[in-house]
Structure 1
Amino acid sequence: MRSELESARALIGEVASSFAELPAEGGGSEVDGPLGWAGYGDALADAAERTGERESVVCGVAEIGGVTAVVIAFEFGFLGGSLGTRTGHRIEQAFTLARELGVPVVSLVATGGSRMQEGTPALTQLQRIARQLALTREAGLPHLSVLRDPTTGGGWATLGAGADVVLGLRGAQVGFAGSRVRPPGYTVTQQFAVGLVDQLVPADDLRVRLERWLRLLANPLTGPAEVPAALGEPDLPATGWEAVQRARKTTRPRAEVYLGAYFDWHEPISGDRCGGIDAGVLCGFGSRDGQTIAYAAQCGTATQPAGFRTAARLVRLADRLGIPVLTLVDTPGAANDVQAEKAGIGAAIADMFTAVAAARVPVTTLLIGEGGSGGALAFAAPDRTWVTPDSYLAVISPELAAQILKRDPAQTQATADQLKLRPQDLVELGIARGITRP
């Protein structure tokens, strides 16, 4: 038996403090649908009597955590939450109203896909929905989706996977092919594991999570992010090799510590939307003194292709929503093994370089540890970078530099000095604006 929270109206009642439904207007009037499918009109009437709804979506304006949003909630009891021509019309109405009001869209998705009884006309509603997604992005408005059980077919391939932030209810079946097409169904946990879902959410935590996200997306900081204070060594290194050794200390504060000290609270996004996750890169949005800043932070490991792509996704989303970005640089370099090459490490680094370079919102960077070559520089703002006393940035590690120059390994420390990689060197060279202190 399905939980009452899987009813569209019950779920809206759980997450919203108020709700005003949009009037149901137009969208198709044929008794048996565009194909004249015998008995379809009776099936629609039965679905309406069973659920109390006239279509498979309920749309309207809601207050969630004090933020006004347009909500699109699927009623799975109405022909499996399938997408027909009237469904597409209602979803179009909802997105149009969101743009008129200048408010976010929240999609509570539970659908088996396109409606068989309406054939290809039902399928073309995916193009109609995709157009609404594109127009809403152009308007700079966020779209959050919640994947319920099940979310399959075109509903997953548009409103679900096409949202800016994707939350998945634990236990949901989520995939392009439903269980009747390719049993057993793919789960939301599996989609999360390959970078296609941002967060897994227990059903009883959904309201709080939506409130937090809408508060974050509704309150962007005006202007650049403040540079975080250094949390490690207060004194500057005397030599280049000392700078390298300090940055490599396992006891040095890492990105998680910096994010915890900087933000009052924050919510992560996860995955590159291409099938990959890099646990060594943390991305998301955080609240600081009631205002929102996006963040992309390296955690001291070699950054994988998925890490660069996830960070680039974060920067582009923040830029579109007008939210300034903070990046924390800390990596010995980009991953350079065979697997990384096959996964497109070069293209992924280029993607991040381009995202930062194209950003219209201010990007602020703090180098908090190792700064290894292009893998580190891709995360750095060219004109707004600061450094901590226990950090360095170099064209390559001193060990590899000595090797490339065919030097004796004993010359590694001298090579570190020649590379001018200390924090104070970076300021003198004009690469960093300044050195932050504890």
Structure 2
Amino acid sequence: MSDLTTAREAIALVTGGDFTELPTDEGPLKDDGPIGWPGYSESHARASARTGETESVVCGTGVVGGVPVVLISFEFQFLGGSLGERTGARAAAAHAVARARRLPVVVLPATGGSRMHEGMRALLQLQRLAGESALTRAAGLPQIAVLRDPTTGGGWATLGAGSDVALALPGAQVGFAGSRVRPPDADPAAYTAEAQLAHGHVDAVVPPAELRETLGRWLSLLTRPAEGPVPPPRGLGAPGTPPAESGREAVARARHPERPRAAAYLDALFTVREEISGDRCGGVDPGMRCGFGRLPDGRTVAYAAQCGTATLPAGFRTAARLVRLADRLAVPVLTLIDTPGAANDPAAEHAGAGPSIADLFAAVASARVPLTSLLIGEGGSGGALALAAPGNLWATSDSYFSVIAPEAAASILKRAPEESGTTADQLRLRPQDLLDLGVVRGVV
């Protein structure tokens, strides 16, 4: 990763050289800093002479993938890329420029955390950076972090993990605890970009050779929203198939192993897409795909798609994260519903099945952007309804939606298992039943 060693090398890699640094007028550090740390002024001067930088961060404007951006890049060779008062001031000024010019923010952290030489005045910069990030978020501007090696301490806990999308370089050290402050028996593998991805804290690990293209796609997707509600995609089932004659037939169609799934719908709808990963709480659900896709007209739609499996608490939280991010960025949302229901095993209960479903219901209910939902397979109770747009739900001909699975309903009613088909008929769960009941707007 030699091409990403310095702050300016990282900037050059993602911009191709199209970068203008923001001006600074700080002057030499005097009096050993705010707490009079012995020799701090000399250490600061040596770091400047060694790196050619005057602080641990380089900020400016540039273009990535055709999108103008503000860049905040850390110089690890300058006192470990640590955050001091001047670092905070530069990053704050960069965020102010981003808001004034309506530009997204790209952060390229490589930092060990807060600067000890400035004591609590340095630690307070975490609040300052979090506040600037919140203002930029409230302005509806995207923030993307590219985590370099290392990204630890407060830099990870603010600029890194606080970004809307977190990309990381392979093998980068990423974690709140740096290598010198971990427990002596700590597994170093837990502090890698790959481990953070596996546990839902990072969206993707991207090799340096692919970084500019990937970052450019993300920026174009997050800055070009579609207008108005998304029309429901056309159904991908066999054309001319007559409506299901019974509830049990509708259930069988939805459960057919060759029925089109979410991946087929996403491939048919979008020309380009990028996905977020994880709930930022330690979990990933491969059965819930969330991200942003480009329509043929070049505009962006956010999507959350169930893949036919029981949805885990991490899946509901990831979908809620997607809906809230899209809402902040004014990007309309499409959801594809296909699940037998929420996972209800002990692990799911321990992971917060109920609270995670409640959080998704709340995110959908409070969204200001238009939401469109298409039922493409199984609609299993509240685990499916949590992803449904109120008043804008559509269904395909090979789907069903039910208050409860027919088998579970038969069990609750103390009926024999072989009566689940009769129970399915009585639940009025076919697409045409849903239309008659006013549950869906139409069958596509």
Name the TM-score class by shorter chain.
over 0.9
Q: What is aligned with 1:248?
A: 255
Structure-1 separation of matches of 2:432 and 2:70: 51
Aligned residue for 1:230? 235
Normalising by the residue count of structure 2, what TM-score does the alignment of the two structures yield? 0.96
- Kept after mapping to 2: 8 A contact 1:27/1:90: no
The residue aligned with 1:309 is 317
Residue equivalent to 1:87? 87
For residue 393 of structure 1, give the secondary structure of its aligned residue in structure 2.
Answer: strand
- Aligned counterparts of 2:324 and 2:26: Cα–Cα separation in 1: 36
Aligned mates of 2:231, 2:159 — CA distance in 1: 35
> Which segment drifts farther, 227-236 or 389-398?
227-236
Q: How far 1:154 moved relative to its partner? A: 0.3
TM-score (norm 1): 0.97
Q: Which residue of 2 aligns with 1:257?
A: 264
Distance in 1 (alpha carbons) for counterparts of 2:378 and 2:290 = 19
**Aligned-partner Cα distance in 1 for 2:217–2:127:** 31
Maintained 8 Å contact 1:27/1:87 = no
One-letter amino acid of the counterpart of residue 226, structure 1: P
Q: Equivalences for 1:387-402 in 2 at 5 Å?
A: 387-402=395-410
1:14 maps to 2:13 = yes
- Partner residue in 2 for 1:215: 220
Match of 1:204 in 2: 209
Structure 1 pair 416/218, CA: closer, same or farther in 2 (3 Å)?
Answer: same
Query: 1:65 Cα deviation (Å)?
Result: 1.2
Letter in 2 for 1:145: A
1:325 equivalent in alignment to 2:333: yes
Once the two structures are superposed, the pairs formed by residues 28-47 of structure 1 within 5 Å of their partners are 29-47=29-47
Q: 2:350 aligns with which of 335, 342, 346?
A: 342
Shift of 1:28: 8.9
Equivalent residue letter for 2:414: K
Kindly indicate whether the alpha-carbon contact (under 8 Å) linking 1:382 and 1:431 is maintained by their aligned counterparts in 2.
no
- CA positional deviation for 1:225: 1.2
CA offset digits 1:187-208 (Å, max 9, x no partner): 0111111000011101111101
Contact 2:29 2:41 in 1 (8 A): no
Q: SS state of the match for residue 124, structure 1?
A: helix
User: In the aligned structure 2, how far is the partner of 1:27 from the partner of 1:398?
Assistant: 73
RMSD of the alignment, in Å?
1.2
The Cα shift of 1:386 comes to: 0.6
Q: 3-state SS of the aligned residue for 1:195? A: coil
Give the aligned partner of residue 302 of structure 2: 294
Runs (5+) with no aligned partner, structure 1? none
Checking the alignment, whether the CA contact within 8 Å between 2:75 and 2:110 is kept in structure 1 is yes
For 2:294 and 2:107, locate their aligned partners in 1 and report how far apart those are by CA, in whole Å.
23
Partner Cα distance (1:4, 1:101) in 2: 29
User: Equivalents in 1 of 2:146, 2:42: separation in Å?
Assistant: 31
Deviation digits for residues 157-195 of structure 1 (CA, Å, limit 9, x no counterpart): 000000000001111000000011116641011111100
Residue in structure 2 matched with residue 140 of structure 1 by the alignment = 140
Q: Distance in 2 between matches of 1:220 and 1:251?
A: 33
Going from structure 1 to structure 2, the CA distance change for 1:244 and 1:27 (only over 3 Å counts) comes to: farther
Matched residue of 1:145: which SS?
strand
Percentage of identical aligned residues: 63
Q: 2:119 aligns to what SS in structure 1?
A: helix
5+ unaligned residues in a row in structure 2: which ranges? none
Number of aligned positions between the proteins: 435
Query: Counterparts of 1:276-291 in structure 2 under 5 Å?
Result: 276-289=283-296, 290-291=298-299
Name the CA distance, whole Å, in 1 between partners of 2:375 and 2:391: 13
